[in-house]
């Protein structure tokens, strides 16, 4: 019975986090695994993930290559929705990236122009399609920008993405609790 409850229906997540794997690959070369810059970048990705999960903000990662082929913006009852395959998102979070695809920036610009929430964390990418460009900074200025701090990041997306709140007696989110929301 537990298996049936945990697998029936569709998973519900309102937040899409752009997967920064292409930025990570720009750091790959012989001996890269032990380098401070690589380890620091990897830790930023892990830290952002932990901040969201500790604040009970469930999310999916969106691969830039797949987004370029399968994402589209549609009108929802409460505003714009990013449809990505069968999933639908109300907000997009852009982590600190070294490079970003021009197709991703175009999608983010269109979503923000339609009234969707796009949040850039920390410094926007200095490279677009692996070439130096100010375009990511220009796009970020059209969206919401927050410092790379847990409180700022979580507050920026909580209003549009929080469906479940698991709080202690003081109203603080309980960080050691994970959940999966499903619609059936």
> In the chain, pLDDT over 90 holds for what percent of residues?
66
Please give the pLDDT value at position 128: 97
pLDDT at position 11 over 90: no
Distance (Å) of CA 175 to CA 6, 51, 111: 21, 9, 30
pLDDT-derived band at 125 (thresholds 50, 70, 90) equals very high
> The pTM is what?
0.90
> In the chain, pLDDT over 70 holds for what percent of residues?
100
Q: Give the Cα separation of 155 and 55 in Å (integer).
A: 10
Contact present, 160 and 112 (Cβ < 8 Å): no
State the pairing for strand pair 87-89/79-84: antiparallel
Q: Give the containing element (helix H, strand E) for 132.
A: strand 131-132
State the pairing for strand pair 117-121/91-94: parallel
Q: What is the pLDDT of residues 54-65, one digit of tens each?
A: 999 999 999 999
pLDDT at position 126 over 80: yes
Please give the pLDDT value at position 39: 85
Provide the 3-class DSSP secondary structure of residue 110: helix
Q: Give the Cα separation of 111 and 134 in Å (integer).
A: 20
Q: What is the pLDDT of residues 19-63, one digit of tens each?
A: 998 888 888 777 777 788 888 888 999 999 999 999 999 999 999
Residues forming beta bridges with residue 166, ordered by sequence position: none
């Amino acid at each position: 019975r537990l298996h049936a409850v945990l697998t029936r229906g569709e998973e519900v997540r309102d937040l899409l986090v752009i997967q920064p794997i292409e930025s990570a690959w720009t750091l790959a070369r012989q001996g890269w695994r032990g380098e401070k810059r690589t380890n620091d970048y990897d830790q930023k990705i892990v830290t952002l993930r932990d901040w969201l999960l500790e604040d009970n903000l469930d999310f999916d990662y969106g691969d830039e290559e797949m987004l370029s082929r399968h994402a589209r913006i549609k009108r929802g009852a409460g505003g714009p929705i990013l449809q990505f395959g069968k999933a639908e998102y109300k907000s997009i979070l852009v982590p600190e990236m070294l490079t970003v695809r021009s197709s991703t920036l175009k999608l983010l610009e269109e979503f923000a122009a339609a009234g969707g929430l796009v949040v850039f964390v920390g410094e926007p990418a200095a490279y677009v399609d692996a070439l130096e460009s100010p375009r990511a900074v220009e796009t970020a200025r059209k969206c919401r920008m927050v410092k790379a701090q847990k409180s700022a990041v979580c507050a920026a997306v909580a209003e549009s993405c929080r469906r479940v709140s698991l709080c202690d007696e003081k109203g603080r989110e309980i960080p050691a609790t994970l959940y999966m929301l499903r619609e059936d």
